[in-house]
Structure 1
Amino acid sequence: MKAHYPVVLAALVAMAGCQSKTQNDQLETQQSQAAGTFGHDLAFLNKYKQTIVLTAPDNAGAQAIVIPAYQGRVMTSTASGDAGNSYGWINYPLIESGQYQPHMNGFGGEERFWLSPEGGQFSVYFKKGQAFDFANWQTPALIDTVAYPVVESDAHSVHFHINAMIENYSGKMFVIDIDRKIQMLTRESIANLLRLQALGNVKAVAYQSVNSITNKDDAWKPETGMLGIWLLGMFRPSEQTTIVAPFSQTLSEKPLITDDYFGKIPAERLVIRDGKLYLKADGKHRSKIGIAPRSARNVAGSYDAEKGILTIIQYDLDPQGKYLKSTWELHNDPYNGDALNAYNDGKLADGTQMGPFYELESNSSVRALQEGEAIIHKQSTFHFEGDKSELNVIAEKVLGVNIDQIGVVFK
């Protein structure tokens, strides 16, 4: 047997050399990819944080990057492998600096887990008695700098779990468990979720996140506050990107839309007609809209006419549910908030700007949980590229609007 050891050792060394060469080749390929590609972003993120790359079960080119250190957020995804478009916005300078910022660390990412409400007497972003202004606003470490442990993962999914305590503006201490699971979707699952007969020849990538907060202490009470799940996606803008948010219309009720969070949005940037809200998403004018649950639909999206990218989010919606209000003030009606928000980045009054990026955001409904009970909020994110006629089939079915109409609404 001893005579075989050198042969076995040589084989192992050769195998290790081949594996190392393969890994090095892959890294060199990623590093050589142009800015804006998935390979470029993967190589960048790998320099600074542990990454988890998920692939679709039926398509290795459909991938997403998840980072445990950033609360299990999906940083970006692609439908076409390393050379394909990278859809998420990433704050390269902040990540590269390795430094934490005051108030919030805007690392980016196309789906991150946050808690609501942001403002009001039940806020978890302001301490009791503080004025609701930027100097006092602080994103809790739990959803900003704390890493979420991985409890289970495979090539197509990852599950995070963390125990936590967090106090709101009214002094209520919440003892909670947070679970977050991200699952890549097959093309069949994509078609089924969006009620499409088929995807045709379009390139597609999609994932679903299932997020829960479990109460581990005394029962929650409306008069002392509740917590909600808030999912925010940051995407790359362009001169020809438009957000589309369908809403429900009735003859007896005006659509419950808020469009003045940062002042009046110019008419050339916001169009509301025929049951659709269109918001220009070029990253050049700070603007935000919100749609209340009774008017919201469980889908929203965007179309980049420059690159031919159709993005859709689909989320849990309870039209009659209670949703936390997040405006920076004490609220007379704290459970009359938005189900859907969309945001276009722009310069602040001092001329600075984090982005540019734009956001699609969904919120969970809330309820008074007994000990051991949980709220659960699911969201699926889809990206499509391909022939315009095939993208149009998806846009008309899901968003109720023609692709060409989206592309020219602000021309």
Structure 2
Amino acid sequence: MLKITSNLVLFMAAALLAGCAKKTDSDQSKVENTTEKKGTFGYDLAFLKKHKEVIVLTAPDDEKSKAIVVADYQGRVMTSTADGEAGNSYGWINYELIGSGENKPHINAFGGEDRFWLSPEGGQFSVYFKRGQKFDFENWQTPAVIDSEPYEVVSSDQHSVLFKKNAVLENHSGTRLEFGIDRKVSMLSKSDVSRLLSVSSFENIKITAYESENTLTNHGADWKKETGAVGVWILGMFTPGEKTTIIAPFSKEQSEKPALTDNYFGSIPAERLTIRDSAVFLKADGKFRSKIGLAPQSARPVAGSYDAEKQILTIIQYDLDTKGDYLKSTWELHKEPYKGDALNAYNDGPLDDGSQMGPFYELESNSSVKLLKKNEKLTHVHRTYHFEGEKGSLNNIAKQILGVAIDQIP
């Protein structure tokens, strides 16, 4: 009898172990499948790990809220998710360019939701065109310090990372600019999101959010208005969709009509650009190259996009000085170089020769420019929020933050 009981116990133990092993194998398979499914955070994490050392940040209060940061790509946030490895990956990544391991002329568009750049791009104070050069594509060159050079990691923990980099550039007018770059990327908690956006309820919503704090320190001669300066420019690249729309709310305090620039690449067809009440809407399908800009007196410190297919609401929030000077970036000499945009948005599309960098779309913010004396600093904060879930809940958030109901989006 004792022998039978012992055998029974051994049989049950073996069965239990087999069940556990089966469950473990199933869980492992689930993780592996996630890395194989394009569009998921797990896929992008696995891809980037093959090519670069990555830093994965996690929100203080939610293990599923994550972001991938790469020091070799100037400390940019490559992508993020609100739902762990199996969740949607929100950033656009240039798999082909990264996979090639090569650096391209003019620009290396690796992708990323939050990348550090410098303004202005064009004009007499541009750091993208050498002295005396024409403003055309052949002469345009993104400085290596914001394009191909790695940044040094000063410190990091589970929730944030701090980078630094020194730069020496000469602008189109021949002015030498020496400065340091400090860039800190930090994940935000739900309580941070609630406080920063004044939104109290996130029922039936998945959230991820982070901020980049970007500081320039002048290490050289004093910056002067007549010889030029640089500003912080943050650009976020996202995956476009047939039913994705950029939303740029504007203030009516100065004028009923927005101070809007919409002819960067020629006129935009009416079915792609709409102005209603207090918001500008731009189609973000990655099929028509178009860009808009709002001057500081018309911009609001928030903008966003809505993907109706995946039910994802993206919001950017940034430092805005409505009375400040902003550097102009169009490819020409400027009569008023300090009358530029605070907010820009871009939809990618084919060039005249049929080639295309993306497709992607961008939400961009600029800092006001400061004429820094030696050792003075300029800081610009840019935040990115993603909300994913039920349309009704997203509608409430959109109305509170952007002043636009989702049903109002063209």
- Alignment of 1:158 onto 2:161: yes
**Equivalent residue number for residue 240 of structure 2:** 237
**Equivalent residue number for residue 94 of structure 1:** 97
Cα distance change, pair 95–26 in 1 and its aligned pair in 2 (3 A): farther
For residue 184 of structure 1, the aligned residue among 179, 187, 197 is: 187
**Equivalent residue number for residue 172 of structure 2:** 169
Q: Which protein has the larger Cα radius of gyration, Structure 1 or Structure 2?
A: 2
Cα distance change, pair 205–94 in 1 and its aligned pair in 2 (3 A): same
Q: Residues 30 and 43 of structure 1 are in contact (CA less than 8 Å); yes or no, is this contact kept in structure 2?
A: no
**Equivalent residue number for residue 61 of structure 2:** 58
Tell me, in whole angstroms, the C-alpha distance in 2 between the residues paired with 1:28 and 1:276.
42
For residue 273 of structure 2, the aligned residue among 270, 275, 295 is: 270
Secondary structure at the counterpart of residue 148 of structure 2: coil
Q: Residues 301 and 320 of structure 2 are in contact (CA less than 8 Å); yes or no, is this contact kept in structure 1?
A: yes
Structure 1 length-normalised TM: 0.92
Cα distance change, pair 86–121 in 1 and its aligned pair in 2 (3 A): same
**Equivalent residue number for residue 79 of structure 2:** 76
- Alignment of 1:335 onto 2:338: yes
For residue 372 of structure 1, the aligned residue among 375, 378, 389 is: 375
Structure 1 unpaired stretches of 5+? 1-20
**Equivalent residue number for residue 12 of structure 1:** none
Tell me, in whole angstroms, the C-alpha distance in 2 between the residues paired with 1:94 and 1:292.
33
Give the percent of matched residue pairs that are identical in Structure 1 and Structure 2: 63
**Equivalent residue number for residue 117 of structure 1:** 120
Tell me, in whole angstroms, the C-alpha distance in 1 between the residues paired with 2:242 and 2:115.
25
**Equivalent residue number for residue 311 of structure 1:** 314
C-alpha distance after superposition, 1:183-220 (max 9, x if no partner): 00000100111001122231000001100000012211
Secondary structure at the counterpart of residue 222 of structure 2: coil
For residue 390 of structure 1, the aligned residue among 378, 388, 393 is: 393
Q: Residues 341 and 366 of structure 2 are in contact (CA less than 8 Å); yes or no, is this contact kept in structure 1?
A: yes
- Alignment of 1:228 onto 2:240: no
Secondary structure at the counterpart of residue 356 of structure 1: coil
Q: Residues 123 and 330 of structure 2 are in contact (CA less than 8 Å); yes or no, is this contact kept in structure 1?
A: yes
Q: Residues 256 and 292 of structure 1 are in contact (CA less than 8 Å); yes or no, is this contact kept in structure 2?
A: yes
Q: Residues 328 and 337 of structure 2 are in contact (CA less than 8 Å); yes or no, is this contact kept in structure 1?
A: yes
Aligned pairs for 1:186-201 within 5 A? 186-201=189-204
How much is the aligned-residue C-alpha RMSD, in angstroms? 1.6
Structure 2 length-normalised TM: 0.92
Aligned pairs for 1:282-321 within 5 A? 282-321=285-324
Tell me, in whole angstroms, the C-alpha distance in 1 between the residues paired with 2:61 and 2:323.
37
Structure 2 unpaired stretches of 5+? 1-23
**What is the CA distance between 1:25 and its match in structure 2?**
5.4
Tell me, in whole angstroms, the C-alpha distance in 2 between the residues paired with 1:357 and 1:202.
25
Runs of 4+ residues deviating >2 angstroms: 24-33, 250-254
Secondary structure at the counterpart of residue 186 of structure 2: strand
Cα distance change, pair 244–80 in 1 and its aligned pair in 2 (3 A): same
More moved, 25-34 vs 178-187: 25-34
**What is the CA distance between 1:27 and its match in structure 2?**
11
**Equivalent residue number for residue 352 of structure 1:** 355
